[in-house]
Every structure is written in C-alpha cells, then in structure tokens.
C-alpha cells in the first residue's frame, strides 16, 4: 500500500502531465535507490513515462519529449514521452530497459503491456554496447581525473555486472546487491558497505585500487564473452518493431 506522500506525488505527476495534454503511464524511483547503494542522505530521483494525445502531433508545435519538473523536497523529477522512451528501448539503451523493469511506484495497464512488448523485442547488440559504454565512460572519466572514489568504482562495477547478467540470462537486474548474489565479488560488498555508511568520497583504505582495476578488467572480458555467447537476436525484428509501433498508435488514438 502506498504512503500518503507517494499518493500525493503520483497525483502531482498526473496533474502536471495532464496539463500538457497527456497521461502518465508509470513512475518509479531511480538512481542510488534503484542501484542498491542508497544512504540516508541520498537524493530521490523520480523517473517515468507519459503519452501525449494525438492532437499534440498535428500542429506547428513540436511535441515535448522530456518533462523536467525540477527538484523539490529532495526529489529530482524527469519524465519521458512515449516515443522517446520506446525508441531508446528498442535500441537497447540499458537505462531505459532498467526503467521499464524497475519496481514501480505507479503503473497503468498500458505500461504493463508496453513492458511486455519491449522485453520481447530488445536485441543484444544495443544492450551490450550500452552497458559497456556506460562502464567505460565512468571508468575513463574518473581514472583520467584521478577521482577513484567508492561511488565511481560502484558505477563501473554495476554497469559491467548488469550487462553480463542480462546477456547471460535475458533478465534486466539493475540492483548491484542482487547482482552480487550471482557474482560474489567480496570487494563489491566492501564498496557497498562504505557507500551506505555515507563515506563514498573517503579514501579506499582497506581496498587496493590495483586489485579493483584487475577485477574490472576481468569483468570487461566477461562482458565481451557473454555477448559472443548470447543467443538473443542482434536487434528487434521488423515484426517486433511493427507490433510496438501499432501499440503506440492505438494507445494515442484511445486517449
């Protein structure tokens, strides 16, 4: 059962979307809470999706793709319009696929159907490059700047572990605590312990950076091998693409 605060949040999101001639499809908590390393001072990132009525696409004005509702009460709220979300999902964007498969604060029947269609349609090529790119960009960024913090290492480990797990099982799992039940990397448990204590920017102390870097290199190799062995199709078929396209058209017409 949702708390009073969450009910008020969902009501607010519905009202904001309705003011843009749209309907809210889903809302969930992203960021550190989704990834499994939130601490008492962590911000709450609210993400979700909405669908605009067909009239929004018929005039001179370009339909809004992203609705940013700003930050208040320690909450950062960003919503994607359906077209943007689906186009990214079909390309294998890992962040969007995690959004669709996250535990939802709110969802309607259309979102449930959308999730089913997307989970039956994404291909391994986009997924692999998305997760690998996520890990590489974080790793290179903090390594080049000498910012080898606990939080930065966790971002790299999570991207690699989530990518390997999805390619091996076909299941999207964004939570690093759940992932490490599968990988059993003791260094990740130590990083999580430090992060949850609110010491994410402290020196690594008991952890050796060289050892962490070696484990990361091994995970990059495992990700490459998982991609080669994965039996998923490289990308969505034309039939799958058409089915999602028809769903979007019918959804707009019904609203």
Give the bridge partners for 66, in sequence order.
80
pLDDT, position 74 = 66
Looking only at the bridges linking them, the beta strands covering 22-30 and 44-52 are antiparallel
Supply the Cα-derived Rg of the chain in whole angstroms: 19
pLDDT for the residue 148: 75
Q: Do residues 75 and 44 touch, judged by C-beta distance below 8 A?
A: yes
Residue ranges of the chain whose pLDDT lies below 50: none
pLDDT at 71: 66
- pLDDT computed for residue 142 by the predictor: 78
Q: What is the pLDDT of residue 146?
A: 63
Tokens representing 61? 């004005």
- Over residues 67-105, the pLDDT tens digits come to 998 766 667 899 999 999 999 999 999 999 999 999 999
Question: Distance between alpha carbon 11 and the CA centroid of its chain, in Å?
Answer: 23
DSSP string, the chain: ---HHHHHHHHHHHHHHHTTTEEEEEEEEETHHHHT---TT--EEEEEEEEE-GGGGTSSSPPPSEEEEEEETTEEEEEEEHHHHHHHHHTT-HHHHHHHHSPEEEE-HHHHHHHHHHHTT--HHHHHHHHHHHHHHHHHHHHHTT---HHHHHHHHHHHHHHHHHHHHS-----HHHHHHHH--HHHHHHHHHHHTT-TTS--TTS-HHHHHHHHHHHHHHHHHHHHH--S-SS--HHHHHHHHHHHHHHHHH-
Residues 6+ apart with CB under 8 A from 244: 86, 90, 117, 118, 121, 236
Model-wide pTM > 0.95 = no
Alpha-carbon gap, residue 191 to 187, rounded angstroms? 6
DSSP 29-68: EETHHHHT---TT--EEEEEEEEE-GGGGTSSSPPPSEEE
């Amino acid at each position: 059962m949702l708390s009073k605060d969450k009910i008020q949040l969902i009501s607010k999101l519905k009202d904001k979307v309705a003011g843009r001639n749209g309907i809210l499809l889903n809302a969930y908590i992203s960021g550190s809470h989704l990834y499994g390393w939130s601490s008492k001072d962590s911000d709450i990132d609210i993400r979700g999706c909405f669908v605009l009525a067909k009239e929004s696409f018929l005039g001179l004005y370009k339909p809004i793709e992203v609705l940013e509702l700003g930050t208040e009460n320690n909450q950062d709220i960003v919503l994607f319009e359906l077209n943007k979300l689906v186009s990214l999902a079909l390309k294998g964007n890992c962040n969007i696929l995690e959004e669709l498969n996250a535990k939802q604060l709110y969802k309607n029947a259309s979102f449930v159907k959308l999730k089913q269609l997307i989970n039956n349609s994404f291909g391994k090529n986009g997924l692999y490059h998305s997760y690998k790119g996520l890990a590489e960009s974080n790793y290179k960024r903090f390594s080049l700047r000498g910012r080898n913090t606990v939080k930065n290492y966790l971002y790299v480990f999570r991207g690699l572990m989530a990518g390997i797990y999805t390619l091996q099982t076909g299941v999207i799992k964004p939570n690093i605590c759940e992932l490490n039940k599968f990988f059993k990397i003791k260094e990740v448990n130590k990083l999580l312990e430090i992060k949850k204590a609110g010491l994410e920017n402290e020196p690594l102390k008991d952890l050796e950076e060289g050892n962490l870097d070696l484990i990361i290199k091994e995970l990059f190799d495992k990700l490459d091998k998982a991609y080669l062995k994965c039996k998923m199709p490289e990308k969505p078929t034309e039939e799958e693409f058409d089915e999602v396209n028809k769903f979007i058209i019918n959804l707009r017409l019904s609203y």
